[in-house]
């Protein structure tokens, strides 16, 4: 297994992109909760990251709503299932932990969904920021709630943004 990393500037700070064998395996913010030892990132290189950086730049420019990158997240079977489900949440929409638990077939899994969501290694690309509390509040984001708010506002449909002004 060959693991390498690169860093890219974004409107929410530098992101460290980690790849294993050519597939994106992690994205970390500065101050990321549960940040692994950076020695696990592998050597720093620019090779192999141009497509991920391009797609992230398009996302932050409001030009991309879906990522089409090869992904290789590491997690247990339940986490992988939750992370797959996160990728079905459309751009500009949110879901609650309870809604995701019901989609998985058991409304009692909301806390387990929250735990898996909090361990998502591919922030932004696997949109864990689109998951909110049952009361609509912004809760738990490894990059911090200010970044979560920024991402949700970035994705907010223009008509919803306009309605907020009045």
CATH number of residue 16's parent domain? 3.30.160.70
Confidence of residue 20 (pLDDT cuts 50, 70, 90): very high
Domain-terminating residue out of 60, 86, 107: 60
Q: Are residues 88 and 124 in the same domain?
A: yes
Task: Supply 29's token pair.
Answer: 């913010």
Task: Supply 7's token pair.
Answer: 């860093």
Across the range 140-158, mean pLDDT stands at: 88
Structural domains counted in the chain = 2
Q: Are residues 107 and 136 in the same domain?
A: yes
Residue 66 placed within a domain? no
Per residue in 49-60, pLDDT tens? Answer: 999 999 999 999
Rounded Cα distance between 87 and 75, Å, is 15
Is 131 in contact with 86 (CB distance < 8 Å)? yes
Phi-psi group of 25: left, alpha or beta (phi > 0 → left; psi -120 to 50 → alpha; rest → beta): alpha
**Residue range of the domain that includes 53:** 3-60
Q: What pLDDT score was predicted for residue 160?
A: 65
Contacts of 123 (CB under 8 A, 6+ apart): 27, 28, 29, 32, 129, 142, 143
Q: Are residues 94 and 134 in the same domain?
A: yes
Residue 133 placed within a domain? yes
Q: Are residues 82 and 134 in the same domain?
A: yes
Q: Are residues 88 and 134 in the same domain?
A: yes
Q: Are residues 83 and 128 in the same domain?
A: yes
Q: Are residues 81 and 56 in the same domain?
A: no
Residue 65 placed within a domain? no
Q: In CATH, what number is assigned to the domain containing residue 138?
A: 1.10.10.10
Which residues are known to be catalytic? 128
**pTM of this structure:** 0.90
Helix (H, G, I), strand (E, B) or coil at 4: strand
């Amino acid at each position: 297994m060959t693991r390498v990393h690169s860093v890219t500037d974004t409107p929410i700070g530098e992101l460290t992109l980690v790849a294993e064998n050519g597939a994106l395996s992690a994205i970390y913010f500065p101050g990321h909760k549960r940040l692994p030892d950076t020695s696990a990132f592998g050597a720093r290189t620019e090779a192999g990251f141009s497509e991920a950086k391009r797609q992230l730049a398009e996302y932050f420019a409001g030009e991309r709503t879906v990522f089409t990158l090869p992904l290789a997240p590491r997690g247990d079977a339940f986490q992988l299932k939750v992370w797959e489900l996160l990728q079905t949440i459309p751009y500009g929409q949110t879901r609650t932990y309870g809604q995701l638990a019901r989609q998985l077939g058991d409304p009692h899994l909301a806390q387990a969904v929250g735990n898996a969501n909090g361990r998502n290694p591919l922030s932004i690309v696997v949109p864990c920021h689109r998951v909110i509390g049952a009361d609509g509040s912004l809760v738990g984001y490894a990059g911090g709630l200010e970044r979560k708010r920024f991402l949700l506002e970035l994705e907010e449909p223009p008509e919803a943004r306009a309605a907020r002004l009045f």
